Structure 1
Amino acid sequence: MQPPRRPNTRQSAPDGPGVPTRRAALKLLDAVLRRGLALEQALDSAAQGLAPNDRGLAHAIAAEVLRRLPDLDAMIDSATKQTLPDDAKARFALRIALVQALALGTPGHAAISTVLPLVDGGPRKLVHGVFGTLVRQGVTLPEPPTLPDAVALRWHAAWGDQMIEDAERAIAVPPPLDLTLRDPAKLPDLPGKSLMPGHLRLDEKGQVVMLDGYAEGDWWVQDLAASLPARLIGKGSGTALDLCAAPGGKTLQLAAAGWQVTAVDVSESRLARLHENLERTGLNAEVVEADLLKWKPAAPADAVLLDAPCSATGIFRRHPDVLHRVRPSLIREMAELQGKLLFRAAEWVKPGGTLVFSTCSLEPEEGEAQLATFLKARSDYAIVPVKPEELPHGVMPREDGSLRLLAGTLADAGGLDGFFIARLTRKA
């Protein structure tokens, strides 16, 4: 008979300076790569207890790893005799150490010393040895970064070689900060450039809440591409529905343009931000928390904006997690939901009214294919072609009058998020 095991009374040493931040980055990467969660969705749990600056650093480390994951993994594989499993903690620790040293400017000794505690009880010597080998070799990360194979194959099939080159260049640098102005004639006292009326692209980023005009509600943060669907509805005094409205930039645009807006979204937490922005800007809208597959308005509206749920691959510059967690199955699921919502929303438009359909996706299944299916089934709808003068200089609509924004759009001016937008009218 074996004697009973003695209980393990060893306690882990408390984390040293900087380690909790790297531990949070590890949790974020695990949430995205192993569990398929969005980076922002996982942040509160992973960074619990961290000070705001450390929380921001953990997010920055994880996001940079996700921007450069194929290149980091190729580098790690070049220095190991046996390939580490994709989900091995040693691989995660090396990704975090290398991206700090090679992309974020962290001194090598600090980059490795703050990740070794992440593999306590594991292959510390392996992690230390691989990192040291690569640093001594003087390795550098390629510029621009490499897209994941699955994404590159999918986008190449849809858009060709140029799209891949443009996407790799786009992910290499953080995107700019765009402001949509409540009053286009009232420019805030901030350094930047305007790419179209009512817009300002800032030269430098800072704490948003400290910028001129924030407290007064003179503007809100919104990528220029994301502002185009509401811009294509234009000014009006009638009723407008903003469907899938949160976090609310389009609602604010419609309200500022004179519409009587009803904003609908299923997410209570995201609607909280809409309420805050309405209060800050002094704009008015009715806000409804509801599932659009079950809800319907009391009466049809003059204008309906459906910015439909999607894979969000068009915002990969800001959210590089989509490059790794979005699978063809999710794209198919989102496309099916978009079709249902588009056909429901079409019933809520008055004859002669406007329907704008948009998705922040770079997948044709979530844009062009949806429009083609809809128009084939609904002969009472027709495209109202987008005009070049309604768009930033250098952006052109497609031949059918819809708008497709790809990764290279306005690249010289800082770029735009990927979007598909179609403006339709219901025949009277």
Structure 2
Amino acid sequence: MPETPGFPARRAAMRLLDAVLRRGETLDQAMSSSTKGLDHFADRALARAIAGDALRYMVDLDALIDSATRKNLPDDAKARMVLRIMLVQWLQLDTPPHAVIATGLPLLQGGPRKLAHGVFSTLVRQEVKLPEVPTLPDRVMMRWGERGEDIARGLAVPPAVDLTLRNPEETAQWTEKLGGISLARGHVRLARGATISELPGYAEGEWWVQDLAASLPARLLGAGEGRTVLDLCAAPGGKTLQLAAAGWKVTALDISDKRLERLRENTERTGLAAEVIVADALEWQPEGQFDTILLDAPCTATGTCRRHPDVLHRIGSRQIDEMADLQEDLLQRASTWLKPDGQFVYAVCSLEEEEGVKQNFPAALTPDPISADECPESLAGACSGNHIQTHPGMHAEAGGLDGFFIARFRRAV
């Protein structure tokens, strides 16, 4: 018997959710195996969209499901998983209820279809709605505290596309040419949906895609004027391109040769130069010291929850502690490669205090205050002392931005 049109994409969405919630995989990791057999890009994109929004609104979806059952379904019940998929299509993706039922109930082959149909139909009759701002899981709210509500506002807005310009002096020109807005010098923000490779300036290497928050660490180092900088954990390479464009002599190191491929492609497209090294920073040893070091350290990446809502459900205290320990090891080792009085910038795309303000920074590094004119005016409230902290709720009305903790230091003379 032929499958209902659209059913394979829903089945893939359920596989994605299972991979995240049961096996702890990221959405990116799970895409290949979960969408195997889907021939069309649109089907894979739909599966990702369903799973992503189900994770983004899971607390609220579960509250709706529980309101329509006499006894709460177990958290890992297949019927609950299917109802999440059905509800998010109707409430968030505007799929007609009849199409939701036709493609959703077959996921419960041999299971409680009558129950799922009844719960869904009840909620449709009640004309329920999802809140404008997703409710965060309790354990996440406990970690993020008062920031939680502001951060959650950023989850409700589809991320915009940010570009970093090779020549910041041409900000006004490229903002007009690309039809975007600018939140900082050297930055242009575009609406979602554009085909990147077809935009003006792409082939000529005039810009590259990079979230505004991710561009801040390199901005704190200013003009290179031929001095040396080590970009540690450099892939996918946006910061390397910034540093090279600002006149630094860049050594870009990362453990992943595959992830460095994008950096190599972008240096070729932009004509910018960098020495690229594939190595483990915990084992590699440079021949000499550097004028400046930028460490964009491996982290839990909870600051990317707009694009990767799986982090809301995968990350807990164990992963946070493991990453904080790894970051401390990298900091201790890398700080010895810095020349006296050299600048050191540490960055993580994390919202966890253990990876940021509570990190154990080496005694040899002293805080280097960030002046008001070094922080984009649009993010003035994010700068304090020697660090910058952004979160997804900032500029949510214009597409938000990733959450980063960035700190600048100097090595004692």
Is TM-score (shorter-chain normalized) higher than 0.5?
Answer: yes
Contact conserved, 2:202 with 2:208, CA < 8 A, in 1? yes
Residues 66-105 of structure 1: matches in 2 within 5 Å? 66-105=55-94
Q: 2:315 aligns with which of 326, 345, 348?
A: 326
- For structure 1, list consecutive stretches of 5 or more residues without a partner in the other structure: 1-12
Partner of 2:405: 420
Which residue in 1 is equivalent to 2:388?
403
**Structure 1 CA distance, aligned partners of 2:142 and 2:164?**
35
Q: What does residue 314 of structure 1 align with?
A: 303
**Structure 1: distance between partners of 2:108 and 2:140:** 31
Cα distance, 1:215 vs structure 2: 2.2
Residue range with higher mean Cα deviation, 300-309 or 124-133: 124-133
Segments of 4+ moved more than 4 angstroms: none
1:127 corresponding residue in structure 2: 116
Matches within 5 A, 1:6-405: 13-50=1-38, 51-156=40-145, 160=146, 163-186=147-170, 187-188=173-174, 189-236=177-224, 237-370=226-359, 373-375=360-362, 377-378=363-364, 381-394=365-378, 395-396=380-381, 398-405=383-390
Alignment deviations for residues 217-262 of structure 1 (CA, whole Å, 9 cap, x no partner): 2111111111000111121112211111111111111111111211
Helix, strand or coil for the counterpart of 2:409? strand
Distance 1:412 1:16, change over 3 A: closer
Matched residue type, 2:408: R
The 8 Å contact of residues 154 and 394 in structure 2, kept in 1 or not, is answered as no
**CA distances 1:314-361 after superposition (whole Å, capped 9, x unpaired):** 111121111110011100110000000011110111122211001111
Structure 1 CA distance for aligned equivalents of residues 381 and 70 of structure 2: 51
Separation of aligned partners in 1, 2:20 and 2:192:
29
State the distance in 1 between where 2:2 and 2:229 align. Answer: 56
User: What does residue 6 of structure 1 align with?
Assistant: none
Shift of 1:270: 1.4
Write the distance in 1 (CA, Å) between the matches of 2:240 and 2:22: 35
Change (3 A) 1:396 1:44: same
Question: Percent identity among equivalent residues?
Answer: 59
Separation in 2, partners of 1:282, 1:300: 26
Question: Hey, what's the Cα distance between the residues in 1 that align with 2:180 and 2:281?
Answer: 38
Higher relative contact order at CA 8 Å, sep ≥6: structure 1 or structure 2? Answer: 2
The amino acid across from 1:88 in the alignment is A
Distance 2:37 2:201 in 1: 31
User: 1:294 & 1:304 partners in 2: Cα distance?
Assistant: 17
- Rg larger in 1 or in 2? 1
Supply the distance in 1 between the matched residues of 2:309 and 2:161 (Cα, whole angstroms): 16
- The answer to whether the 8 A contact 1:225-1:418 is kept is yes
Letter in 2 for 1:184: P
Normalised to the residue count of structure 2, the TM-score between the two structures is 0.94
Distance 1:81 1:396 in 2: 47
Aligned mates of 1:43, 1:210 — CA distance in 2: 26
Structure 2 CA distance for aligned equivalents of residues 191 and 204 of structure 1: 12
409-418 or 262-271, which moves further after superposition? 409-418
Amino acid at match of 1:272: E
Deviations 1:134-170, CA, capped at 9 Å, x for gaps: 11111111221111111011111xxx2xx22212211
Kindly indicate whether the alpha-carbon contact (under 8 Å) linking 2:159 and 2:192 is maintained by their aligned counterparts in 1: no
TM-score normalized by the length of structure 1 = 0.91
Distance in 2 separating the partners of 1:93 and 1:184: 48
Change (3 A) 1:47 1:209: farther
Aligned length: 406
Separation (CA, whole Å) in 2 of partners of 1:412 and 1:79: 33
Gaps of 5+ in 2: none
User: What is the letter of the counterpart of residue 221 of structure 2?
Assistant: I
Q: 1:104 Cα shift?
A: 0.7
The answer to which of 65-74 and 195-204 deviates more is 195-204
